[in-house]
Structure 1
Amino acid sequence: MVDPRVRGWLLLDSCTPTLVLTFIYLLIVYLGPKYMKNKMAYSLKNVLLLYNCSVTMLSFYMLVELISATWSAGYKLKCQGLFESGEGDIRVAKVLWWYYFSKLIEFLDTIFFILRKKNNQITFLHVYHHASMFNIWWCVLNWIPSGQSFFGPTLNSFIHVLMYSYYSLSTIPSMQKYLWWKRYLTQAQLVQFILTITHTLSALIFPCGFPLGCLFFQSSYMVTLVILFINFYMQVRKQVLFCMITKNSN
């Protein structure tokens, strides 16, 4: 049953807008590189700086607001039901709506890759992650917009503060030597997924009425991300080792 507390919220009353926007995104992924094939790549340096700073600030807002909202509402870490905290749950749901909407904003990541002709960055993992998260969080907001759902977005908002702040600062040459956390981003993402799976499954040990089907689905989805990110991490490590070997041989 759809949660009545989110009725009338932007984009939530029907799945059609979310599905249409996802279809348009996938169409751009398919047609964009073909359109750009014989064109000069765009620089977009100032646009990217503005975009990455904006997403960093939005992620920081969601991180702080989720921590504040769940702390004030007395949320439990082991298992938090959907209707245990009254107005506190509404406050959490409002932040989670912004989290859902941020997944639409992040479609621009791919569009900027296309315009800059960075097609090697548009991997299956990249497209799968972006397209699926937007649709999954439409479902979350409609059926489980509070309670146990807070944990993953809190961690992910923290990761996105690190990630998009790196993207922002890396455009400034004088700052590049200070961006020490770049090398740890993929590891941090993997830790995030494992912690989210652990937190999700803890509700099976300490049940609080949270829908079991949602717990199993979320855990299964996170497992797919762990597998894909491990594969990505291993590929990157192989490339680094190959570059080191090639450099030493020369």
Structure 2
Amino acid sequence: MASLMRHVVSNYNEVVQNIKDPVVDTWPLMGSPGPMLCIVGTYLIFVLKAGPKMMEKKPAFQLNTVMLLYNAFQVLFSIWLASLVLDIEIKNLFSFVHGCNFHLPPDAEIKHIQVVLSRAAWWYFFAKITELFDTVFFVLRKKQDQVTFLHVYHHTVTALSAWCYLKLLPGEQGIVVGFLNSVVHIIMYSYYFIAALGSKYKKYLWWKKYMTWIQLLQFGIMLFYLILTLAMDCRLPKALTYFFITNVIIFIYLFSDFYRKAYKTKTA
């Protein structure tokens, strides 16, 4: 018990004493949690209550052009987000470490990594906010059956987590997590873009169920990387690592359950 308490206190101190870039507080939506919580709260009210009620007696919106533009934007935006990792050498994914088999980068390189990390983290957070429109479009198109617990939980948690990560405890683990997620979203929104082109392109969407495999592979790689940083005792914020691991395990369970219900049950 005493060892557990010391571990908890150590991680708490890590969060409290973590040195963050004060410039982040001046960026849009980062001054306080108020604006972000208002956005997420409005999203939840609309997709769970107000939206379905509003659409109850209205015909579904088609939104064909909007969907094409939205998905094209998300593909291009995800490509750009993924490309930001190219500003950091692969060996520095384990930077700021002791016992991770890599030397500590020079101060100038550390500063460069911190700047790139903060900038990329804000744009990643912005991406999570824009992705809330996924559910809004489901509601407006009267596809309420797609507004599942997994879908709403995933979008809500990623938006909240992205804000908390940048505001409270930025760490280099975010480079790997953000890169993998952006790559998966390139594939995912490419699928949605093709689907929005119309029924005549349906034959090109045979790989729908494999998107869940790709999601699970993403989480598996994330989990391996995060556990590796703990096993190698990397000098990275461990509180952040535990937070990421917890979320990844929850997502693995939820996506596995979705795949089982959506595909395994149909073939049984």
Q: Normalised by the size of structure 1, how large is the TM-score?
A: 0.88
Give a deviation string over 1:136-191, Cα, whole Å, max 9, x none. 11111123334121111111111100010111112224443234442310001011
Q: Does 1:81 align with 2:93?
A: no
- Tell me what 2:58 maps to: 39
After superposing the two structures, state which structure 1 stretch, 161-170 or 145-154, moved more. Answer: 145-154
1:137 — aligned with what?
162
Is contact 1:52-1:165 (8 Å) kept?
A: yes
Give the one of 105, 120, 127 matched to 1:95. Answer: 120
Q: How many residues align?
A: 238
Tell me which residue corresponds to 2:20. 3
Q: Deviations over 1:55-78 (max 9, x none)?
A: 110001011122x1222x8523xx
Structure 2 residue aligned with 1:163: 188
Task: Find the counterpart in structure 2 of residue 53 from structure 1.
Answer: 72
- 1:134–1:97 CA distance, 2 compared to 1 (3 A): same
Distance 1:136 1:115 in 2: 26
CA distance, structure 2, for counterparts of residue 146 and residue 31 of structure 1: 37
* 1:121 aligned residue (143, 146, 164): 146
More displaced 10-residue stretch of structure 1: 185-194 or 87-96: 87-96
Q: C-alpha offsets along residues 80-103 of structure 1, whole Å, 9 cap, x if unaligned?
A: 339952112211221121111111
CA–CA distance in 2 between the matches of 1:155 and 1:189?
10
Residue 15 (structure 1) aligned with residue 33 (structure 2): yes
**How many Å separate the matches in 1 of 2:202 and 2:195?**
5
Kept in 2, the 8 Å contact 1:41–1:117? The answer is yes
Amino acid at match of 1:121: Q
Matched letter for residue 213 of structure 2? Q
Displacement after TM superposition at 1:240 (Å):
3.2
Given the superposition, is the C-alpha separation of residues 182 and 81 from structure 1 closer, same or farther in structure 2, using an over 3 Å criterion? farther
Q: 1:19-49, CA deviations, whole angstroms, 9 ceiling, x for partnerless residues?
A: 1111111110221111101110010000000
Q: Are the aligned partners of 2:171 and 2:236 in contact in 1 as well (CA < 8 Å)?
A: no
Contact kept? 1:41, 1:116, Cα under 8 Å: yes
Change in CA separation of 1:74 and 1:89 when aligned onto 2, cut-off 3 Å: farther
Q: Following the alignment from structure 2 to structure 1, what is the Cα–Cα distance between the partners of residues 183 and 162? A: 18
Determine whether 1:148 maps to 2:173: yes
State the match for 2:253 in structure 1.
227
* Structure 2: distance between partners of 1:180 and 1:152: 28
Look up the match of 1:185: 211
* Preserved contact between residue 212 and residue 259 of structure 2 (Cα < 8 Å): yes
Match of 1:236 in 2: 262
Contact 1:56 1:161 (C-alpha < 8 Å) held by counterparts: yes
Question: 1-side partners of 2:204 and 2:51: how far apart?
Answer: 34
Any conservation in 1 of the 2:68–2:193 contact (CA below 8 Å)? yes
Q: 1:239 to 1:35 in 2, by over 3 A?
A: farther
Q: What's the CA shift for 1:126? A: 0.5
Contact map agreement 1:155 1:192 (CA 8 A) in 2: yes
Give the counterpart letter for 1:63 in structure 2. Answer: A
Amino acid at match of 2:65: N
Deviation of 1:218 (Å): 1.1
Could you tell me the TM-score, scaled by structure 2's length?
0.83
CA deviation vs aligned residue, 1:184-211 (integer Å, no higher than 9, x gap): 1000101111111111121111223212
SS in 2 for 1:39: coil
Which residue of structure 1 lines up, in the alignment, with residue 220 of structure 2? 194
Structure 1, unpaired ranges of 5+: 243-250
Match of 2:5 in 1: none
Partner in structure 2 of residue 248 of structure 1: none
